[in-house]
Amino acid sequence: MAHISDTHLGYARYSKLEPTSNRNQREVDVAEAYKRAVDAILEAEVDLVIHSGDVFDTIRPATHVVLHFLRQTQRITRENIPYLGIAGNHETPRLRATTASLMYAHLVRATFACGFEPESGVVPVGDAQVGVSLVPHGAVLDRELVVMPEPGADLNLLVTHGTVPGLTVKGHELGEIDLPSHLISQHFDYIALGHYHFFHAHGTNAHYAGATERFGFGEVNSEPGFALLTFDESGGTPEVEHIPVRARPMIDLRRIDASDMDASELTEAILHHAGAADLDGAIVRQRVAEVPVGVAGGVDRATLRDLKRRCLDYSLEFTEVGASETPDPGDAGANFGSLQEEFKAFVGGKRERGDLSPAFAADFLRRGTEYLNRAGTGEEVGP
């Protein structure tokens, strides 16, 4: 069985376009990652495919994004391989009256639960009867929710999307736990989890499959892919293997300490760090700390232009002397990217669409980031 998750189709970021389609390059990357995952799933000759949510990045993905999903998904279902899944938090409508775009999946014979209720049934898979309980993200809001395995099924699967209690990442427990503990303590042969973008085991019978691409620097150390499971005839815990899917390189360059540097020395250091890795086409971040006042503006423009041209995105993040650095979200921010990163993307998008003038956007970004940094350190932000 293949367990795939967090494909985030329709995700778009940065300004570069893919030259043939003129579509956002990251959107194309994410679409191709899903296609590559489908290639690998077909190659593995699985008997069942499960998607544990965040198929789409948004509640209303563009038509071409939906069509791509349907075309790729149909490559699986036309081989008569059952394909079932759920909606994640990204694609769950805020209003119960809105129909989720995932409902289109039924046109290509894939079954998705995308409302606010769990759905379960028994699916014949080869000679086996597999009980599948689909608990979409919209259904986990009900804290009293109880989902039972299908009696009489040879194998029982639970599919859900959210943060499990006790999910510990680098010694930190993730906040915002949204899956009630009794939900995942039921006796299921396997629990397919979505939401956390790293391939990650939880207990003996549950796994996060991880995402098929990286969606921010919080995920720079993740390996995109999906999970491949083998169930024994005699039952018991399945064997779980991670199948990597090729993604665009994302590089977080070693931080530069710029104290005592002037602008030309900083330019040299930036070039030196850039030379240490193959940046062509990559998403690159260079953080520079302790920048003396006035030095950032003096960094050689031509050097920066060249770096921006070579990389899909090259972002230079300065922290001035004495300022507190943007806290590194590390893996813990993996689900959403840091608030600062989200804010930067939000302001960048507004500026690109012309909603904000470049000067106002720059000021807005600087002030907003400052507030977020201060809020992150628990410092008083003022009224």
Q: 107 in helix, strand or coil?
A: helix
- Please give the full DSSP string across 297-361, using - where no structure is assigned: GGS-HHHHHHHHHHSSEEEEEEEETTSPPPPP-GGGGTTT--HHHHHHHHHHHHHHTTSS-HHHH
Q: What is the smallest separation between the CB atom of 89 and Mn ion, expressed in angstroms? A: 7
Pair of tokens at residue 348: 């960048």
Indicate the residue among 8 and 248 with the shorter CB distance to Mn ion: 8
Residue number with CB closer to Mn ion (36 or 161): 161
Which residues form the interface with Mn ion (CB under 5 A)? 6, 54
The residue (of 12 and 307) whose beta carbon lies closer to Mn ion is 12
Q: How far is the CB of 59 from Mn ion (least distance, A)?
A: 14
How far apart are CB 161 and Mn ion at their closest, in Å?
8
Q: Which of residues 54 and 119 has its CB atom nearest to Mn ion in the complex?
A: 54
The angle subtended at Cα 79 by Cα 73 and Cα 81, nearest 5°, is 75
Q: How far is the CB of 69 from Mn ion (least distance, A)?
A: 15
Between CA 25 and CA 371 the distance in angstroms is 31
Q: Max CA-CA distance within the chain?
A: 73
Residue nearest to Mn ion (CB): 54
Find the Cα–Cα–Cα–Cα dihedral 333, 336, 338, 339, rounded to 10°. -140
- Which C-beta is closer to Mn ion: that of 190 or that of 208? 208
Question: Are 134 and 85 in contact, with CB atoms under 8 Å apart?
Answer: yes
Which of 325, 256, 258, 254 has its CA nearest to residue 294?
A: 258
* Smaller CB separation from Mn ion, 54 or 189: 54
CB of 79 to Mn ion, least distance (A): 27
Half-sphere exposure of residue 159, counting CA atoms within 13 Å on the CB side? 33
Tokens of 308: 């921006």
As measured in angstroms, the least distance from the Cβ of 160 to Mn ion is 13
Task: Quote the CA–CA distance of 252 and 2 in Å, as a whole number.
Answer: 31
Least spacing, CB of residue 245 vs Mn ion, in Å: 15
Q: Which is nearer to Mn ion, 73 or 156 (CB)?
A: 73
